[in-house]
């Protein structure tokens, strides 16, 4: 399998479907994590939000936003917002999975929707919402370089992750942190999950009776490390 097929197969295992799509407890939002292959490397698109916005102004985010009454589910929300923000047509996205939702700093239940797009896609940012769009290699989020993690403010759960990424094309530096950083790490970690499980389970057969036992252990490690309401 090529990198796209392999990543798709791995991420589909973590698809939660519509289990949380209609929960009445919290207001809903979705983000799209757009993946594509560039020069044999898995990458993602991120946006720098306009400084004129009322919330998260000037921050790095994945395309996304609150659910509209017309949206059928979390996927609809993510695709609609991506089209509004960066001009990405919904039919140009191969949706792979919906990951477990998290509560952001504004009290929204945010569902990450992961999908593949073509490398040739040329973003058309909506200036009212997005200042710029840039590409980040997914492996950047599993490297210790330019990565900082610390316990957040009172009331937050888990670590607050922070990265400083320099775009090689523009030379601009971007601060990627909070929920956006956590989701990027999660997808990057899940991508590496299959290789890690295969390698470690073969090296430590005396600790784990089966491939599935190691898989469950590693999944819990990821959850424990990344869980954060932010």
| pLDDT tens digits, one per residue of 25-62 | 789 999 999 999 999 999 999 999 998 888 778 899 99
Q: Poorest-confidence range of 94-103, 108-117, 159-168? A: 159-168
Q: Are 180 and 61 in contact (CB under 8 A)?
A: yes
Q: What is the mean pLDDT of residues 98-102?
A: 92
Give 49's contacts (C-beta < 8 A, 6+ positions apart).
56, 57, 58, 59, 60, 61, 129, 130, 131
Bridge-based pairing state of the strands 41-49 and 159-166: unpaired
Cα 111 to the chain's mean position, in Å? 10
Q: What is the pLDDT of residues 51-94, one digit of tens each?
A: 888 877 889 999 999 999 999 999 999 999 999 999 999 999 99
- When pLDDT is cut at 50, 70 and 90, the band that residue 110 belongs to is very high
What domains lie within the chain, and their CATH numbers?
Answer: 3-226 (3.90.79.10)
For residue 196, name the pLDDT band (cuts at 50, 70, 90): low
Q: What's the pTM? A: 0.82
């Amino acid at each position: 399998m090529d990198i796209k097929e392999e990543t798709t197969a791995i991420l589909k295992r973590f698809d939660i479907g519509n289990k949380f799509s209609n929960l009445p407890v919290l207001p809903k939002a979705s983000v799209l994590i757009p993946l594509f292959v560039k020069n044999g490397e898995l990458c993602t698109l991120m946006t720098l939000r306009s400084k004129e916005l009322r919330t998260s102004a000037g921050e790095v985010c994945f395309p996304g936003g609150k659910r509209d009454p017309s949206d059928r589910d979390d996927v609809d929300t993510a695709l609609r917002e991506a089209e509004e923000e960066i001009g990405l047509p919904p039919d140009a996205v191969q949706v792979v999975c919906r990951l477990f939702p998290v509560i952001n700093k504004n009290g929204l239940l945010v569902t990450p929707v992961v999908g593949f797009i073509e490398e040739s896609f040329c973003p058309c940012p909506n200036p009212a919402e997005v200042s710029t769009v840039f590409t980040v290699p997914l492996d950047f989020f599993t490297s210790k370089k330019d990565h900082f993690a610390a316990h957040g403010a009172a009331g937050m759960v888990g670590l607050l992750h922070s990265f400083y990424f320099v775009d090689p094309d523009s030379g601009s530096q971007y601060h990627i942190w909070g929920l956006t950083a956590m989701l990027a790490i999660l997808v990057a970690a899940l991508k590496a999950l299959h290789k890690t499980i295969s390698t470690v389970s073969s090296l430590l057969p005396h600790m784990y009776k089966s491939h599935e036992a190691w898989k469950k252990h590693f999944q819990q490690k990821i959850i424990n490390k990344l869980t954060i309401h932010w």
